[in-house]
Structure 1
Amino acid sequence: MNIERYLTAHRQGTPGQIFRLLRQGRVTVDDQVVDSPRTDVTSDQQVRVDGLTVTGRQPQYLLFNKPVGFVLNLEPTSQRSLGSLLNSLDQQRSLKALANLPKEAVGLVLASDDERFLADVARQNWRSTLQIVLAGTTVPDLSANVAFQDVTSQVDTVHQTVTVALTTTDVAAGVSALSNLAHANEPVVRTQFGPVALPVDLAVGTYRGLFANEIDALNGPLDLKTE
């Protein structure tokens, strides 16, 4: 079979991820770089991705709605951590969190055991969208902070609240700035990371797998530089 079908059969990612691996020269067959998806490969040849032998093990890609006060530790035995939320099957994975979020905030956090995916997404330097609900109808001014983009405020005169949202790559600074606003009685929520939004039907303290289109979007445009 050709190398594209081989990598698909051996669960090396979505079609987009496999195309990326080939174009970036990260696939070798018997120590020779292969970049064409039509290259034939046989069962007795040694296929590696990023120098690691292809085993057929399915990577895991997860999206959490992190509760307030929980840390990003993914060890199942760690109290008040993402690891404590995992089911028995996912507890066996060597997962790592992506998209850092302070424990005082809630919302979207990604995790995976696919080191290639984690590195590719980290290189994109995606912005996070953060928001908080304030009591009252006074709109705060965050325009002076150049680290924040797309700062918006939406006044709800019925419930007498203001929802403030911003995007930034400096999540810690964004969480701190929003948390310190007057009349901030609720935690900061990360509602989006890059192209992926927090699902409205994903309850706090639960998680689901990422869809193939979300994985490909998080990887960003194809860049032949892997560094």
Structure 2
Amino acid sequence: MNIEHYLTERHQGTHRQIMRLLRQGRVTLNGAVIVAGHTQVDSTDQVQVDGAAVTGRQPQYLLVNKPMGVTIDLNPTVAHSVGSLLNVLDQQRQLGAVADLPKEVMGVVVLSDDHRFLDDVRQIAWPSTLTTRLTGTAVPAELANAAWDQVQTTVNQRQKYVTVTVRTQDVARALPALVALPNATGSVTRTSLGPLQLPGDLPIGTYRGMRAAEIDAVVAPLDADVTES
């Protein structure tokens, strides 16, 4: 079979991920780097990804709904950290994070033990979408701020609050500006990181594996020149 099918059968990632592994020179066949998805492999060949045999490489891609007051620290012994939210199996993995979310902000965080994937996401530098609520139905007269490049408001007349949604490249800078808005509740949530949306059915303080479409979407800009096979 060809190397793309070989890696797919061994759960090394989505089709796009596997083509990216090849393009990035991360796959070796009998010690030689291979980049073509149609390269043939048989049962006697030694295939490695990032220097590890594929039988021992099962990368994890996790989507966390981080609570407020929880740090991005992945050490499970640190109280009020993302690491303390993980189950025992995931605590043993060498996970990293796209760690730009202050403890005061809750919402979507990406974890993985595929550190090249994390580097790719950082390289793309997706903007974050942040939301906060203001008590009452009065929309502040001036919402323009250098900390964000887009802002929208939605008024809930029935429950008497205003939702402010901004897009920013600098969460740490946007946070104090949002908290300082008139009648702000102090609660700020990252509802998306680029195309990656915080699932409505993922409770605060929980996590799940990223779906193939989510993994592909978050690194899609780097796949523009990848030839499909």
Q: Deviations over 1:95-143 (max 9, x none)?
A: 1121521101111111111112111111111011001000122223232
Which amino acid in the other structure matches residue 2 of structure 1?
Answer: N
Q: Does 1:55 align with 2:51?
A: no
1: CA distance, partners of 2:220 / 2:187: 30
2: CA distance, partners of 1:189 / 1:128: 10
Which amino acid in the other structure matches residue 144 of structure 2?
Answer: S
Query: Within 5 A, what are the aligned runs for 1:22-61?
Result: 22-50=22-50, 52-56=51-55, 57-61=57-61
Structure 1 SS opposite 2:130: strand
2: CA distance, partners of 1:3 / 1:157: 58
1: CA distance, partners of 2:108 / 2:176: 17
Structure 2 SS opposite 1:177: helix
- Unpaired stretches in structure 2, ≥5 consecutive residues: none
Which amino acid in the other structure matches residue 132 of structure 1?
Answer: T
1: CA distance, partners of 2:24 / 2:113: 21
1: CA distance, partners of 2:159 / 2:25: 56
* Aligned counterpart, 1:218: 218
Q: Note the aligned Cα RMSD (angstroms).
A: 1.9
Q: Deviations over 1:19-75 (max 9, x none)?
A: 12223443332343322211112344343434x233322111111111110001111
Which amino acid in the other structure matches residue 124 of structure 1?
Answer: I
* Aligned counterpart, 2:155: 155
Moved more, 68-77 or 92-101: 92-101
1: CA distance, partners of 2:106 / 2:215: 22
Pairwise CA distance, 1:224: 6.2
Do the aligned residues in 2 keep the contact of 1:10 with 1:54 (CA within 8 Å)? Answer: no
Q: Does 1:92 align with 2:114?
A: no
* Aligned counterpart, 1:205: 205
Q: Deviations over 1:133-180 (max 9, x none)?
A: 0012222323242x4122101122222211101111111112221112
Do the aligned residues in 2 keep the contact of 1:121 with 1:220 (CA within 8 Å)? Answer: no
Pairwise CA distance, 1:85: 0.9
Which amino acid in the other structure matches residue 54 of structure 1?
Answer: A
Query: Within 5 A, what are the aligned runs for 1:181-192?
Result: 181-192=181-192
Structure 2 SS opposite 1:93: coil
2: CA distance, partners of 1:26 / 1:74: 26
Do the aligned residues in 2 keep the contact of 1:69 with 1:80 (CA within 8 Å)? Answer: yes
* Aligned counterpart, 1:143: 144
Do the aligned residues in 2 keep the contact of 1:3 with 1:37 (CA within 8 Å)? Answer: yes
Q: Return closer, same or farther for 1:103/1:144 CA change in 2, 3 Å cut-off.
A: closer
Report the TM-score, using the length of structure 1 for normalisation: 0.90
* Aligned counterpart, 2:79: 79
2: CA distance, partners of 1:216 / 1:121: 11
Moved more, 125-134 or 52-61: 52-61
- Unpaired stretches in structure 1, ≥5 consecutive residues: none
Do the aligned residues in 2 keep the contact of 1:46 with 1:53 (CA within 8 Å)? Answer: no
1: CA distance, partners of 2:179 / 2:198: 20
2: CA distance, partners of 1:46 / 1:23: 19
Structure 2 SS opposite 1:37: coil
